[in-house]
Structure 1
Amino acid sequence: MSGSWAQAERAAVRRAGVKVGALTGLVITAVVALVGCIAYGVLVHRQDDRVWRELRYNAERGDPAAPPPCTWLFTLDDAPARGPAGFPLREDLEAVRASRSAVERTVERDGTSYAVRTQPRGGGAVQAVADLRYQLADRRFLLAALAVGELVGLLAAVVTGVVVGRRAVAPLAEALAKQRRFITDASHELRTPVARAYTRVQVLSRRAVAAALPVEHLAGLDRLAGSIRRFGEIIDDLLLSARLTADPADADRGPVDLAEVAESAVAAEAERAAERQLTLTVDRPDGPLLVRGVDSALRRAVGELLANAVGHTPPGGRVALSMGRAGGVVALTVADTGDGFDPAWADRLFDRFHRGPGAGERRYGLGLALLREVVTSHGGTVEAVGHPGRGAEFTIRLPGVAQVPAPRGGKPASRAPGHRESRVRAP
């Protein structure tokens, strides 16, 4: 399961910085490499041009008895011992004397290269040979210098890329931080007027009942109260999300009994489950299931998970909550017999305001997204498994507390291995 929205946001900022830095470094490295390639190409071209011009001149006018340094002139009558091993190339001399057309080529001998031009001269043919070892040495020296320059350029590119990447994403990170601060400030400012509005609607509802107002007016007040309550829940979700995003470690964390949290969530949903004619079962161990975390955040997460299951299960269905501990991990699973979902959409369910495909009512809002933020901020994971037409199953796994704290002046609480099950049935 992927991380929380806050983690995804920070990861996006880091990726943006890395991409900007990598692109900057790549551009600098490419420029250095391009300059090196151009310099090497120019050197090779100038050397080749000079060698072949001198070789043509010597073949046409040079004295075979006194050739220039690093150059040899051969005729068909010369013995091989006069020059490098393997020269002259007699097949070229004979071919040129017969065809009267010049031949140029490069020959590899004894670990070096030779430029060879054979051309007609007088009634015969002459072959000019130039040793290219010094030109090759210059090229190797230039390649070594370019390699060193490329390494230095690469190091400079990395440093420049890091600096540029950080500077480039700084406005993005600042904008996200301002956005979070705005959400926190706005949520704080809205909590009081929303709470007052909800209280006022409740008072008006009681007065309307006492005044025997028409049923449609009472229903309208109920819908208004529900809307304001939902608005308040969204504000609480935003505040909790901002709190977890700002610094997941700044909240007071202590041992929390996840079994007790689950029991409270079941009690809160019992009336709604009965209204929807659902069977709500709880299977939990007799002892506590302690995890370390923020009590209010965990209550919100478990409550959202159970409310989501009750809300998506049709009348007559079943919602089962089970808990247990295995290998130091506390697991809480909520399974329902609703419509389920396509397993391919499992991760998308935890996206903010995700709407299921082809279903106008299956809108998930902030609830499941906040659920994942709470769980991941506690070092746990949440997994969704869908069975189209046969329900869904959500599992929260959190690191358990290694040892149950002993009560003051008493013995440590024991963990009973057994489980007990309670049921809430439709009337």
Structure 2
Amino acid sequence: MEAAEQAIVRRTRLRIGMFVGLAIGALLLLAGGISYGLLVHSQETQIQRELRWGTEHGTIAGPPACSWIFRYDGTTVRTGTNPPPPGFPLGDALHTVAVTRTTETTTVARNGTTYHVRTEARDDGVVQAVFDARFQLSDRRHLLLAFSLAAAAGLLAAMLTGVLVGRRAVAPLAEALTRQRRFVADASHELRTPIAQVHTRAQLIARRARSDGTATNLDDLERLIGTTRRLGEIVDDLLLSARLAAAPADRRPDPPVDLTSLIRTTVAAEAERAAERQVTLTLDTPAAPLPVPGVESALRRVVGELLTNALAHTPAGGRIDVTLRSADDVAEIVIADTGKGFDQADARRIFDRFHRGAGSGDRRFGLGLALLQEVVTSHHGTIEAEGRTGWGARFTVRLPMTEATSIAGRASRIRNLRIWQLDAGTR
């Protein structure tokens, strides 16, 4: 279908754009991470260098408001002219180094910033250097913000570029799908006439053979007729699929389809065959027309195929119930039989193209149920299958009704509710 193919093309373009964008975004993040790591490493190295210089020479070259030197002679702690921040100096570190004579470095998060502290034993006592890294932290935040903005802008630009690249990359695929649809439609149309001619001539030959009494190869003729009939059905399937796949601009709007009339006609056409097979065929439809938007031939094919499938799998003495009803602005077609059924695990697989499950030897070849699903989906509907082996099968088709029918249905339900309320009030 055109809509499904366009959705696939759009998803492919989007995925290519996302992959390109993510790849470039990942490279930007990697570059940003490496740059950030190098900045942090260089800052930490510089801070430790300043602290070592401070403990050795009693001064730090950094801003006075961000560095402090404390001296401890075993009894008192001397500070410089710069007032220390709250919580400094670290008395425990001074006492520990005074006893152990080992250098101690630590990091303290306090007062909304991070302090780097180096406590080292000297000849005249213990020296403690404190460095406030607030400016370094600010540089890191600014770098992160800049990289985040650059990464976001780069990611967006990369995704847009990826979408453009994806559009160019997927264009041949879209063109190939269009050519494929045209080829299927053209080839099917060209094959339809010769297949019909072969089928007709095979029927004439078989009829003459029967009338002349020279039917020595009548079985072969019957098989030829059956084969040409199946070929014609396959061509019809392909033509229907090509019509459904046509672009909306190429499709002429069809009038609403009356499901009530369509189902009655289709069931009546199968009544004789059901009687020959000794299968009871029942029909339950509303009295009023039930119009839905769509292609009449396609919807007729859906009902006909489901009935054919039910007759093919229902033995003599069985029953097929066809029901048409409307609920919540949706027309629902239910075809249930008491035939062979199928394993519920295969409920989805039976809609695969050319799928032939167990016991399907008498089913015709072709697109079959896969085409039915395509038809229903193209009409914005759904089709479901339920079954149990040996207990029959049940197919449910739901199609959206026309807006006028939906409004009429809602008005009828409201009117019936009001009548019921009046009757209840009278009682």
Pairwise TM-score range, normalised by the shorter structure: 0.7 to 0.9
Residue number in structure 2 paired with 1:148? 149
Highest RCO, 1 vs 2 (Cα 8 Å, sep ≥ 6): 1
Q: Take 1:273 and 1:73, find their aligned partners in 2: how far apart are those partners?
A: 106
Q: Take 2:330 and 2:105, find their aligned partners in 1: how far apart are those partners?
A: 80
Q: Take 1:344 and 1:171, find their aligned partners in 2: how far apart are those partners?
A: 38
Q: Take 2:299 and 2:114, find their aligned partners in 1: how far apart are those partners?
A: 78
Residues 311 and 212 (structure 1 numbering): CA distance in 2 closer, same or farther, change over 3 Å? Answer: same
Residue 264 of structure 1 aligns to a residue whose secondary structure is helix
Residue number in structure 1 paired with 2:228? 228
Residue number in structure 2 paired with 1:390? 391
Aligned ranges for residues 241-260 of structure 1 at < 5 Å? 241-247=241-247, 250-260=251-261
CA offset at residue 149 of structure 1?
1.0
Aligned ranges for residues 264-283 of structure 1 at < 5 Å? 264-283=265-284
Q: Take 2:286 and 2:63, find their aligned partners in 1: how far apart are those partners?
A: 101
2:89 corresponds to 1:88: yes
Quick one: which of 45, 53, 63 aligns to 1:57?
Answer: 53
Q: Take 1:120 and 1:346, find their aligned partners in 2: how far apart are those partners?
A: 83
Query: Per-residue displacement from partner, 1:38-79 (whole Å, max 9, x unpaired)?
Result: 111111101111111121122113359x99744322111334
TM-score, normalized by length of structure 2? 0.85
1:246 partner amino acid: A
Q: Take 1:261 and 1:68, find their aligned partners in 2: how far apart are those partners?
A: 92
Query: Per-residue displacement from partner, 1:320-361 (whole Å, max 9, x unpaired)?
Result: 222233454333221111111233332322221122257655
Residues 119 and 246 (structure 1 numbering): CA distance in 2 closer, same or farther, change over 3 Å? Answer: same
Q: Contact between 2:230 and 2:365, CA under 8 Å: does it hold in 1?
A: no
Q: Take 1:60 and 1:363, find their aligned partners in 2: how far apart are those partners?
A: 97
Residue number in structure 1 paired with 2:413? none
Q: Which runs of 5+ in 2 are unaligned?
A: 406-427
Residue 75 of structure 1 aligns to a residue whose secondary structure is strand
CA offset at residue 265 of structure 1?
2.1
2:201 corresponds to 1:219: no
* Aligned alpha-carbon RMSD (Å): 2.6
CA offset at residue 304 of structure 1?
0.8
1:240 partner amino acid: L
Residue number in structure 2 paired with 1:78? 77
- Please, which moves more after superposition, 343-352 or 113-122? 343-352
Residue number in structure 2 paired with 1:332? 333
Query: Per-residue displacement from partner, 1:189-225 (whole Å, max 9, x unpaired)?
Result: 111111111111111111211221246x112211111
Residue number in structure 1 paired with 2:344? 343
Residues 358 and 132 (structure 1 numbering): CA distance in 2 closer, same or farther, change over 3 Å? Answer: farther
Q: Contact between 1:67 and 1:73, CA under 8 Å: does it hold in 2?
A: no
Query: Per-residue displacement from partner, 1:105-126 (whole Å, max 9, x unpaired)?
Result: 1122322222111111114221
Q: Contact between 1:6 and 1:245, CA under 8 Å: does it hold in 2?
A: yes
2:163 corresponds to 1:128: no
Quick one: which of 2, 24, 28 aligns to 1:28?
Answer: 24
2:42 corresponds to 1:46: yes
Residue number in structure 1 paired with 2:285? 284
CA offset at residue 311 of structure 1?
1.0
Query: Per-residue displacement from partner, 1:200-253 (whole Å, max 9, x unpaired)?
Result: 1111111211221246x1122111111101111111111111111113571441
2:312 corresponds to 1:311: yes
- Please, which moves more after superposition, 313-322 or 38-47? 313-322
Query: Per-residue displacement from partner, 1:270-295 (whole Å, max 9, x unpaired)?
Result: 34323433222223344433333322
Q: Contact between 1:354 and 1:365, CA under 8 Å: does it hold in 2?
A: no
Q: Take 2:329 and 2:89, find their aligned partners in 1: how far apart are those partners?
A: 86
Q: Take 2:138 and 2:296, find their aligned partners in 1: how far apart are those partners?
A: 75
Q: Contact between 2:309 and 2:363, CA under 8 Å: does it hold in 1?
A: no
CA offset at residue 312 of structure 1?
1.5
2:54 partner amino acid: N
1:218 partner amino acid: L
Q: Take 1:309 and 1:248, find their aligned partners in 2: how far apart are those partners?
A: 33
1:223 partner amino acid: R
Residues 57 and 238 (structure 1 numbering): CA distance in 2 closer, same or farther, change over 3 Å? Answer: same
List structure 1 runs of 4+ shifted beyond 6 angstroms.
none
Residue number in structure 2 paired with 1:195? 196
Q: Contact between 1:248 and 1:377, CA under 8 Å: does it hold in 2?
A: no
Q: Which runs of 5+ in 1 are unaligned?
A: 405-427
Q: Contact between 1:355 and 1:363, CA under 8 Å: does it hold in 2?
A: no
CA offset at residue 24 of structure 1?
1.4
2:127 partner amino acid: V
Residues 127 and 355 (structure 1 numbering): CA distance in 2 closer, same or farther, change over 3 Å? Answer: same
Residue number in structure 2 paired with 1:182? 183
Residues 203 and 360 (structure 1 numbering): CA distance in 2 closer, same or farther, change over 3 Å? Answer: closer
Q: Take 2:230 and 2:363, find their aligned partners in 1: how far apart are those partners?
A: 16
2:30 partner amino acid: L
Aligned ranges for residues 292-311 of structure 1 at < 5 Å? 292-311=293-312
CA offset at residue 303 of structure 1?
1.0
CA offset at residue 268 of structure 1?
3.2
> How many pairs does the alignment contain?
398
Q: Take 1:131 and 1:324, find their aligned partners in 2: how far apart are those partners?
A: 80
Q: Take 1:7 and 1:344, find their aligned partners in 2: how far apart are those partners?
A: 29
